[in-house]
Structure formats: C-alpha cells, structure tokens
A and B are shown apart, each in its own frame.
Chain A
C-alpha cells in the first residue's frame, strides 16, 4: 500500500477521433477556427456526430474504442497483455442504445462491464479492465484514478480510453433538461443558450518509464476530484467545488497560478455551468490565464470529453499556442475570465484541465510540459497514512417488495426529508445504508473536503435507464421526465449522499461485474496518500427490485 516516491507519470502515445477527424485533423481544424457541429435530423438538434467503421461482432461504441486502442498501442511497445499495464475505460452510457430493442430485458451488452471485457479481451489484456462512470467528469476522473494507481506502484503503465456515442436515450434526456442549444453551442458567450452533444473517442497511454514517453515530454503532474454537495443537476452557485478540485490538483503538482499557461475548461455553454466556472477560476487565481472550451468545435462528448480534450490540451501545449473557443464572441460572466477567441501564444508550459458533471462532481488535472522550469521528480507519500475500518453495514434483504421495505426503513429514521421520495430506488437503498453506517460511527469531526465516497456496482444505473427508455419509447408529446433521466448516471446516487452528508472530497464510481474490492482498495489508497481522512466505500447495487448494498467507513488513524 505504500506508494513509491520519485515516480513521474508521463504522457505516451495518444489518439482521438472526433467529428472533426483524427487528432491532427481535429487540431488543424481548430487552429483554423473551424467547428464540426452540424444539424442532426434524427435528433433534431446540432450534434458532433461520427461516421463509424463497424467491426464485426462489436457495437458502434466498442468499435470506436478498439480503433483508438489499436491507434495508441500500435505506436508503443506497451501491451495490455503485460501485467504491469492497466486498461481504464471512461464512459457514461456505453451501449445504452441497445435498450431500444427490448427495454424490459436489457441484453448483457448494455452492462458496461460486459462491453469493457470484450474490448479488453480483443487485446488479450492481462488485468481486468477498470471502468469509471462518473457522469461528465468520467474522462478527467480516469486520469486521476490512473495517476493514483501508477503512484501506488501497482502498475507501470495505464491506457485510458474514453468513449460515448449518441442515441435518443441521451439526446432526449438532455432535451428534457432544456439544456440543448438551438444553434451550435457558444461557450461563455452572452448569447449562449445551452450545450450541443457530440460523440467521440480518445485513448492515452500513461507511463512511469520516461523511455516510453513521447517527446516533448508532458507530465500528468496532479489531479483531484471533488463534489459540490449542493444539487444533483444544478451547477454550484459559488464555484467552491470546482475551486477545491483545481486547488488540490495544483497542490499535488506543486505549481502555483503563475506556472499555468492556459486552462482548458469544461465550458458546456449552459448558462449556469459557464457562470459557475468563472467563479471557480476567480477563486483559483486563474481568471487572467488564457482559457478555451472545445465544446463549440466538437460538442459535449460526455464520457469521452475529458480524454479527448486532454489529448488536445497536450497537443496545444506542444505547439505552444492555444486554439480559440468556437462560438464565443462576447462574455457576460459575473467574473471576467480570459476566454480565448482565436489562436493565442502561451508563455508557460503547464495546463489545467477541468470538468464538472451531474451528481455535483468536479475534476481537475494538471499537465506539465518539459520546458517548465519546475519539471522535477515528484516527492509524494512523505508518510504513509494508516487506515482503520471504523464501521460496516450491509442493507438487509427482505421478503417485502422494495418500495414497501424501504418506506418502513425510512420511517424508522424518524425524519421528514421530502427529497427521499424523489430519489431513484438505488439512491434510496444507498441513503438508508449510509444513514445506518454513519449511525455506527459518524464523521462530523472530519472537514467536508476530507470526506470521500467511493462506490462500485455491476449494473451502473440500468434500473433507471429502463425507466427512462420506457418513457422515451412512448414518444410523449411533452417528452421524457428530467427527474427520471437525472438518475441514469450511477454516480448521481453518490452525489445524493454528498449532499446529505456534506461530502466534498473524492467521489468516484467504478463499474465491475462482481465486487472485487476495488472501491475499498481505492479508498485505502486515498487515505494512504493523505487525500482523504474518511471514506465511505463499498458495493451499491440495485436492479429490478433486488439490492445489494454493502458499505464500510474507513478513517485515517491519527498517531
């Protein structure tokens, strides 16, 4: 459990596929100030859609990932069959479009892990893949998780792949939130009226071996995940959560605002997201740094966005100038930020990449270029922290139907939280289990940013996915229900717990096919590396009336 000191994480080979083409085509188009969004008749909105060369026996989603993995792996000697290499997959909805075929009986392939295993098997991967489904921060989250695993010394290399494809499931859900722009989206612009969706895939090799890194060297120097603990869908009004993520990632990297050349933000172009980011950037002292959002060029590509935009940030660091923010003309933000409207030279070789998403989550990573004066060997893990399991709780099984069972459990808590009844069934099960867990030992003495929640399950949010798809398939004139759609992301259940128990630290949701102990393992790493003082961790499964919620509370031992 003791992480190695003197480990650096370098960027190896990278590849992306966006609506503007491959990596160099996308970058060239962006450099020329061109965008790739076009009107999509099927979904009646502007999207960044892909032509996909399908692979026999694989779905569109899987074909894209395999293609990008072939791209990055063919240009390095790092192989997934090597036990020191870990594959990490970032996606929000995977093959969810398969639900359209038979909504009541979701096929095996709609389970994210089934799909991940098929992709891993294609490359004879030695280790089971790690799947992260953390809403719109999934891609950036994957880099944070990869960084922690590499620093722990368990692996020498990680291959991160991020992918999402569009379907009516997704487009109608975002439409129900009234968050889709009438025109191609315009991040940070005074006229912005919502986001544009896109599909994309990207892959990145990360390595601790400099001889495997790609020159000019870029280091993944820091990363952090936080939660607003405020609302499951509305961006924070203060920007605190994103600020904490940026602050923590920069502290990890040992860098200050002066060292940062530019910020590549989330910049979805919804009114409230962009406002929130301007506040967070002001708090971080980064509001004078050149900033761009790539959503106007390629759309919001969900679980792919953090990976694809990070690859493009790496390329911008390498070329020494950044691209503009397509669609941006004039800002009306409460806190002025230095939004780049065209090509712009950068003077410092470091970049901060951020993302924020449903469930109240935020993520930030720091990329450090090789001509940075500070590029030195990292010294972390000054003292490994000791971990104690202070409470355990398993939600009992019952002969009663879930609705009746959970109502009785909730009544026994003797409180009147009207929000409880609005939650998805998985969130309700988790709610009760967390209340009981914290009744054994609470964590009121722990500062909110030092509290974390790390969960895993098999079905992600398929129970809510079925409910949403059933509504979508009815083609109601008024459209689907946002209150159902919001729960079609597994991490939103964790987000509910963050609100309830003021958890503002790490919140990561892993998908596995059985409880391998990954969530607890990762929770222990966070404490061992002094990134959290208390972590709720474990398994949180709910599907079609059956549940399995098995939690632990870990705390740092103070010597």
Chain B
C-alpha cells in the first residue's frame, strides 16, 4: 500500500503537471480537489486516464468517481481492489 501511494503520487505529479510539488508535499489523506493541490475537473479526467494507463481500470461514471478521488489514500485503496 505504501509503495502504491508513493507511485501514485509520482504519477499525479507527472501527469497533472504539478511542478514545484514533491511526493512529500502531498498529504495522502488530504482532499485532492479544491484546497491543497487545487485540482479541477480537467485534472479529474486526467486521473481517470492514469487509472486506465497504469492500472488497467476503466472508470467512466463521474458520480462513482467522487468518493474514490477524495484523497491519494482513497485512490490507492480503490486501485488495490480493482487493478488488473
């Protein structure tokens, strides 16, 4: 799990162009959207791409995405359960 969280942070920084941010800056349990990293709806779509590209998970329902995308930790938990 810890390894997955670290890897996920790397992917988020790379794919969402979070320059100036290091994995250590991202609190695994803090909300990803609005405050903190200031992610928005385009970033949410990019996270859907990350799930598919690195973990083979297809997620198309945005209503379903909300609780999953809450924090790095909730994302990692979802990946653990659903990765292929």
Contacts and interface: CB of A to CB of B under 8 A. Distances in A.
Do the two chains belong together in a single complex?
yes
Interface of A: 176-178, 231-234, 416, 418-419, 421-422, 476-479, 481-483, 486
A231 B41 CA distance: 9
Given A418-B18, A421-B18, A421-B19, A234 B38 contact: no
Contacts of A476: 53
B49 A478 contact: yes
16 contacts: A178-B45, A178-B48, A232-B42, A233-B41, A234-B41, A416-B20, A418-B18, A421-B19, A421-B20, A477-B53, A478-B52, A481-B46, A482-B42, A483-B16, A483-B17, A483-B43
A230 to B, nearest CB: 10
Contacts of B52: 477-478
B36 to A, nearest CB: 10
Contacts of B48: 178
Q: What are the 7 closest A-B residue pairs judged by CB atoms, nearest first?
A: A478-B52, A421-B19, A482-B45, A422-B17, A478-B53, A478-B49, A421-B17
A418 B38 CA distance: 7
Contacts of A481: 46, 49
Main secondary structure of the interface of A (DSSP, over half): loop
A234 B52 CA distance: 23
Contacts of A421: 17-20
A405 B42 CA distance: 26
Contact of A418 (B20, B46, B53): B20
B37 interface: yes
B82 to A, nearest CB: 15
Contacts of B3: none
B7 interface: no
Given A178-B60, A231-B40, A234-B40, A418 B45 contact: no
A220 to B, nearest CB: 35
A363 B48 CA distance: 32
A178 B45 CA distance: 8
B21 interface: yes
A481 B43 CA distance: 10
Contacts of B42: 232-233, 422, 482-483, 486
B61 to A, nearest CB: 9
Interface of B: 16-21, 37-38, 40-43, 45-46, 48-49, 52-53, 60, 62
A486 B53 CA distance: 20
A177 B45 contact: yes
Nearest to B58: A478
B26 to A, nearest CB: 12
Contacts of B62: 178
Contacts of A483: 16-17, 42-43, 45-46
A338 to B, nearest CB: 29
A461 to B, nearest CB: 16
A481 B21 CA distance: 21
A419 B38 contact: yes
A4 B67 CA distance: 59
B51 to A, nearest CB: 9
A285 to B, nearest CB: 30
Contacts of B46: 481-483
B37 A176 contact: no
Contacts of A178: 45, 48, 60, 62
Contacts of B41: 231, 233-234
B16 A422 contact: yes
B58 to A, nearest CB: 9
Most buried by B among A233, A416, A482: A482
A481 B16 CA distance: 10
Nearest to B45: A482
Most buried by A among B17, B37, B52, B53: B17
A233 B40 CA distance: 10
Contacts of A477: 52-53
Most buried by A among B17, B45, B48: B45
A418 B49 contact: no
Given A232-B42, A479-B49, 12 more contacts: A176-B49, A178-B45, A178-B62, A231-B40, A233-B42, A234-B40, A416-B20, A418-B21, A418-B38, A422-B17, A477-B52, A483-B45
A178 B41 CA distance: 11
A178 B17 CA distance: 21
A282 B60 CA distance: 32
Contacts of A234: 40-41
A314 B40 CA distance: 39
A178 B60 CA distance: 8
